[in-house]
Amino acid sequence: MNTTKITGAQAVMKSLVAENVNTIFGYPGGAIMPIYDALYDYEDNINHILVRHEQGAIHAAQGFARTSGKTGVVFATSGPGATNLITGLADALIDSTPLVCITGQVASHLLGTDAFQETDVVGISMPITKWNCQVTKAEDIPAAIAKAFYIAQSGRPGPVLIDITKDAQFGEMNFTYEKCTAIRSYRPKPKLNRVVVEEAAKLINEAKKPYLLIGQGIMLSNAEKELVAFIEKTGIPVASTLLGLGAFPQNHPLYVGYLGMHGDYAPNIKTNECDVLIAVGMRFDDRVTGDVSRYAKQAKVIHVDIDAAELNKIIIADVAVHADAKEALNLLTELTKKKQHNSWLQEFNDAKKVEVETLQESAKELHSEELKMDEVIKMLSELTNREAVVVTDVGQHQMMTARYYQYNKTKSNVTSGGLGTMGFALPAAIGAKFGVPDKPVVAIIGDGGFQMTLQELGTILQSKVDVKIIILNNRFLGMVRQWQQMFFEKRYSFTNMVSPDFVALAKSYSIQAAKIEIREDLKENLLKMLNHNGPYLLEVMVAKEENVFPMMTTGASVSEVRLN
């Protein structure tokens, strides 16, 4: 094999090229300067996005990974640069997002001396990465990067971090690169056990009221077509978790809704009425289960997951299938009988009517003159032909979007699910646009979350990112205020939000912007935003004390979902 003598910093870049990396999000600094110097020679074939904060870099890389299906790549310097990645690492781990983060570090002889901008980022990030390591010798860099990409994107994906000391970046080495295809004792893709799948198929074939719950694992295993084939053969009603939205087209007659604390009424209550519950690529998050002691006790549970740690962790399965979703669904489709469950499906439709009628009555009583979040989302869904990539922040607007935007395309929903990170949406939307440059990307953000990462408007300005931004401004930290109203006697403790002139702020970054306050202006301004060539910010003033219903309160059963 041919070898070439180069520096460790150059080896980083050559290794990334070997992994087909064409987009990097980052922020330079002293300890990573040699790598940035090497990057200078790759401007023609690697697009580096200069963010305004390292948290922006990692959220952007998440958005890129979630839409493109590739591994997001991040550069950051030592000390505060590296620690600014921590929130994003935690977010990416819990939401199974593949990232490779490369941080600079002080020279190896200074490790442990409290040198300028030194932190033990490997120790800090260990609980929130799928794997991490520190490299102190140039010759170890290619193997570390190869291993990082293999671990990040295999099995259940997740973030990895490589911390490279400055002397390793400067050191010389004979460069060779071999992609990693296996690691001893690491088995990311389990072997499908046909006998176990046969047990699952037997339960499904005998079921009178089977019910399927799907999560992001469907998309991570590229099992969307296999899911449709399984559903259309078995006739089983299917509901989605927050991160699973888009894995199954919502205009399909067998789709019955969105699960969770603010999910749809029917999918939640029917969990405690089915006789066989099948969960594929989802992890029974507490926002989905409510009170576990009262969750689906009447049902036989089949759980399919690629991560063995998720099986029997929260809900004990009668049949636990440790498998890739695509392979499991293929075999289940082969082994199950063709059926229809029309009367069972009608129960979901009847419950949906109850929800719609109740929410319509509530809307008439409350603030009927004020513009509502759901109105904005429904119209956006219609005007984008339900085909935009929608990136949401965290809060009421996130739940409203999950409820009222109709996701018919895979990888079209980008949100912070497990960690619930405010400030996620703006940088994630930037990354999402680089992931799918030919698709419209719309960020929907609350006035609170927007102000956590609004500096990334500078990234939009410099990198000319065509993202559309909708701020749903209710002048509150809305979700916290809703809980204060319902459970703390309307003691609105520090949730009232005073904001700057968002339109003027956007225009100072050369971003076109407008503000609307009445519903008569909504459609015209949404169309203007969507048709604009370039980034656009639309601030929509919505009702101050609008609440999100249905709602399953903490400690409640899925059968106790409140409609008002």
Region label for 297, one of left (φ > 0), alpha (ψ between -120 and 50) or beta (otherwise): alpha
CA proximity to 12, closest of 143, 123, 132: 143
Exactly one of 166, 411, 468, 515 is catalytic; name it: 166
Does residue 456 carry a catalytic annotation? no
Does residue 116 carry a catalytic annotation? yes
Does residue 549 carry a catalytic annotation? no
Q: What are the start-end ranges of the H helices in 366-475?
A: 373-383, 396-404, 425-435, 447-450, 457-463
Tokens found for residue 222 = 């590229």
Exactly one of 13, 219, 399, 479 is catalytic; name it: 479
DSSP string covering 453-501: SGGGHHHHHHHT---EEEEEE-SB-HHHHHHHHHHSTT---S-B-----
Q: Which helix (H) or strand (E) holds 514?
A: strand 512-516
Exactly one of 117, 455, 485, 512 is catalytic; name it: 117
Phi, psi of 174 (to 5 degrees): -90, 115
Tokens found for residue 519 = 């519903």
CA proximity to 381, closest of 355, 354, 357, 412: 412
Query: How far apart are the C-alpha atoms of 563 and 60, rounded to whole Å?
Result: 36
Does residue 117 carry a catalytic annotation? yes
Does residue 54 carry a catalytic annotation? yes
DSSP string covering 308-353: GGGTTTSS--SEEEES-HHHHHHHHHHHSPP---HHHHHHHHHHHH
Exactly one of 10, 14, 25, 54 is catalytic; name it: 54
Region label for 487, one of left (φ > 0), alpha (ψ between -120 and 50) or beta (otherwise): alpha
Tokens found for residue 283 = 């992890």
Q: Which helix (H) or strand (E) holds 49?
A: strand 47-50
Q: Which helix (H) or strand (E) holds 34?
A: helix 33-39
What letter does residue 99 receive in the DSSP assignment? E
Query: How far apart are the C-alpha atoms of 306 and 325, rounded to whole Å?
Result: 7
Residues annotated as catalytic are 54, 116-117, 166, 479
